[in-house]
Chain A
């Protein structure tokens, strides 16, 4: 029987083999996508493991010493640059970081290949001067990605100690568990479930590609006496030929496409192709599952044949799907809400509630597949009522006559739209949780440097160092102004009343563009109506203002003579309570006791000046965080990461759904090829054929997709709300995404038209 099945599959003529080849190709694409999907989590884990040595610093225990390590996030040419500063606290026990041959001495550095290339490209004063002399290259297995910018820089131990370095006796080899917020974990679980549905639809659609031809062939076998069981076995064998070849092709495609997929950045970094690999067991399960889906699809399509040999020849109108098909959808939505409430209430273990939520979400998607034919049939009936032309009538009748098949063609896109809409809501929520570390005070071309995250820390050399730095920055070509800001704690009476910035008022007004500030002597100017009055004590450490020590100095707002700008509530709370000009201090010489915490640099925006400023600041103070005005850095990286992963998943899902639609439309048209050939012979124009195909796919696509999008938004809002998030109403961009998705889907259908036109040419009536 197997041999006969193979013969029927392979020796059925050119058309039969072409059908099998198309099916196998579609299965290969689906398989490859599944393998890539399975590879995402391991690839992220591998990436995290490769950078664990610098992401997680484990302090050394005991007094044996080790290596002093301080890791700083920097930027170069708007790319993330990781600087790992190292020094031996004990040369005998100092462990060498992974990926380099030896511990670099002060002024030396090991750099990643991408950084070496960038250093060669940029002038030394824009990058190299903050790295040092290159002593060697960091090996791949210590890098997150081939294009990662990393430098291991040898530094004086004293400088590192002053900048909060950690002494380590070894390096972590495993990444710390990603501490996702609970709603983040829920979103990731739902995303994984949502992304798989269109893949299943695609594989199932692909295995149906040559079903019509197969049904006719096997019906003939039934006529000559084959039993239903034999026919079913033959159908399975034939389907497995395609899925087996497709699975092998999928594995090949996976390896062929891997270098290209590795170029898709996540978190600004591409991937080492070798790290994109699915877990072997999971990959095996996928390959077997694809065969099972193919065999099951063949058996389902053979149901009519097992009734009788004339089963495929007699066409009867099956009962139209009724509104009862919407009941599972309602039930599964309720189940999802209950599961998420349980998740939030923590009455069951998190794993259980997450699993329940995932299952319920899968139930919602499955229920869409059940309710879809009902809606499609409804669309067909409405279209039939309003049909005026032949194309509309043909499409309407087809939709009404075969709503299950018609919905099957668009099921992938409909599910993708549902998932995309729900995740658009999640993304809106994620977006609302993702702050922007953008300094609203920055003028175009400006640079701000946070000299240390620890306010107590200071530039090397204290005030002299900062003065020296300011002087050096001023000398850089393109720099038009430099203002050093000292952050102070303001104490009045019994407690701290806010923060103050101690800086030259005229300079700050110019550099920050505070057009409404007046620094004229003799008056106190407020920009927001706030007033400053009385005597303020100034302390250097806002975290511990009084700290048992006397204030460094004080100011008397009541005197009103010196420039003192009260700006409470201005600029989104970014500015401190008071801007204080040093001349307002009761003891102007006390300024040296307040560390410079921030430097604002105004530039003319000429090319490279920002990087030159950054290089100068970092060279003087390695722990500085320097941001150029044009750089925008997400403040909540975990939520941003979730958003990125979901976005990549959705793009893949929509692309796959589009492929699924193209395959389904092609299959459906080929199944009716004979009719179309006859119709075209009788004068149906190519445009009529096009209109019929586009209407048949487009009418239910638009109508059901809108319903699906609405459902997705409502489910998304409910999930976020019940899970404890703030109410997240998606913005109008969802409409744009929907329109774009449906347009792309219809374009994909349009791509199938030229070959379909050729295949239904009147001339081919001869072969029918």
Chain B
């Protein structure tokens, strides 16, 4: 697999651009509601993600965008509404099945701290495969393919503490994609990086996702990051205020 050109995406708020893939939805959320105690984080929100599509969920702090991502990814179960992945409801699945789904079909990139500090970069990238029962030599072989693609050559033996924030995030991206996920969820993936490093990570993330054929859901409050998406969903007070349909 070769590195795809890392062109910045054209901002196409609300509507798919000419590079947008076919509109077949791989992930949908309908009427999602979620409460934390007395706080209503989501109030009947709808969401849809097509195959190969990159969608940015935007909104101010506390608006519910991360909660929406967690519900869509099967990390949280919504109090109301449904989530379907590839035509199958996942909000009604048990924890074990959702765990398996997250491991085999989804990839995750968080703001910071998701790498295991004791493991080398290579081991961190291989970890999802190892957890899925892939033999270590095979897992590390597959992980090694991602290092040149994310410009991480030579960092295989480094530990997270010995890497820059941008390098650590790219390792996290590699880890998220190593299992060939259908959907990549990224929660503020550049939140802890400076703008240059952030853009670099986003370029590589979106390019790598495209090359892997993965759809991407990005939670961000930065317009610069959202610019890499095909479209944006604006969340405010637990409700979607932007276009949601592909």
A→B interface (CB under 8 Å): 314-317, 387-391, 393-394, 397-398, 400-402, 674-675, 678-686, 688, 762-763, 765-766, 768
Contact = CB atoms under 8 A, between A and B. Distances in A.
B12 interface: no
A395 B99 CA distance: 21
B106 A675 contact: no
Contact of B128 (A391, A394, A397, A683): A683
B102 A683 contact: yes
Interface string B158-180: 01111000000000000110000
Nearest to A691: B131
A141 B159 CA distance: 68
Given A397-B116, A397-B118, A763-B77, 20 more contacts: A389-B130, A389-B131, A393-B130, A394-B118, A394-B119, A397-B119, A397-B123, A675-B113, A678-B108, A681-B73, A682-B102, A682-B103, A683-B101, A684-B99, A685-B99, A688-B131, A762-B76, A765-B70, A766-B36, A768-B113
B130 A390 contact: yes
Contact of B106 (A678, A680, A683, A688): A683
B114 A675 contact: yes
B75 interface: yes
B243 interface: no
Contacts of B131: 389-391, 679, 683-685, 688
Interface in B191-206: none
Contacts of A684: 99, 103, 131
Nearest to B108: A682
B30 interface: no
Contacts of B108: 678, 681-682
- In this complex, the member of A390, A679, A684, A765 whose beta carbon has the largest number of chain B beta carbons within 10 angstroms is A390
B21 to A, nearest CB: 25
A398 B77 CA distance: 32
B67 interface: yes
Interface residues of B, number: 41
A398 B76 CA distance: 29
Contacts of A682: 102-103, 106-108, 114, 128, 175-176
Given A393-B130, A683-B131, A675 B116 contact: yes
A768 B66 CA distance: 12
Contacts of B107: 682
B99 A683 contact: yes
A379 to B, nearest CB: 15
A678 B73 CA distance: 13
Interface string B126-163: 01101111011000000000000000000000011110
A762 B114 CA distance: 13
B117 to A, nearest CB: 5
A394 B99 contact: no
**A contact patch SS:** helix
A766 B118 contact: no
Contact of A393 (B75, B136, B176): B136
7 nearest CB pairs, A to B: A683-B103, A390-B130, A315-B161, A390-B131, A397-B118, A683-B102, A401-B118
A598 B162 CA distance: 86
A163 B181 CA distance: 94
A314 B119 contact: no
Contacts of B175: 682
A682 B106 CA distance: 8
Contacts of B106: 682-683
B135 A394 contact: no
Interface in B29-81: 36, 66-67, 70, 73, 75-77
Contacts of A398: 118
B96 interface: yes
A762 B76 CA distance: 7
Contacts of A680: 99
Given A397-B119, A682-B108, A683-B106, A317 B159 contact: yes
A679 B135 CA distance: 19
A688 B133 CA distance: 10
A674 B112 CA distance: 10
Contact of B136 (A387, A674, A766): A387
